[in-house]
Structure 1
Amino acid sequence: MSRSTFYRKFKALSGENAADYIRKIRLHKAVGLLQKKELNIQQISLEVGFQSTSHFRTKFKEYFGSTPSEYA
């Protein structure tokens, strides 16, 4: 299956593109790590696959409506 076919079928089945779906999964994993309170926000952002903590904070706020520190 080609990449374009995969993305088209994924969007048809899930209603969202693959990158947004993966980001949503990563952000929900971050919430679980925030609730454990064992790691700081920079460590959590790296743990869930974000290269930049500022990008993580931005995407977290877009999705949940609050920053990671406010959420914790």
Structure 2
Amino acid sequence: MLAPETLGFLRQLDRNNTKEWFDKHRDAYEAAHADLLAAVGTLRDHADRYDRPAAASASFASFAPPTCA
């Protein structure tokens, strides 16, 4: 579900968690962030298929990925 580049970025971030490194790799962060939001959206969509919300509660589909991630 997640791109190998996203996982690679997260591994590198774990080893290099400094502002200087992050600033140099901001493009990779933006790509990883978009990939993670897409994955959360996919999971939300799949979960909503099985969600049986009560009449007064919201379904998973009502949560946007940035809100529920």
Q: Same fold (TM over 0.5)?
A: no
Q: TM-score, normalised by structure 2?
A: 0.40
TM, length-normalised to structure 1: 0.39
Q: Which has the larger radius of gyration?
A: 2
**Which is bigger in relative contact order (C-alpha 8 A, separation at least 6)?**
2
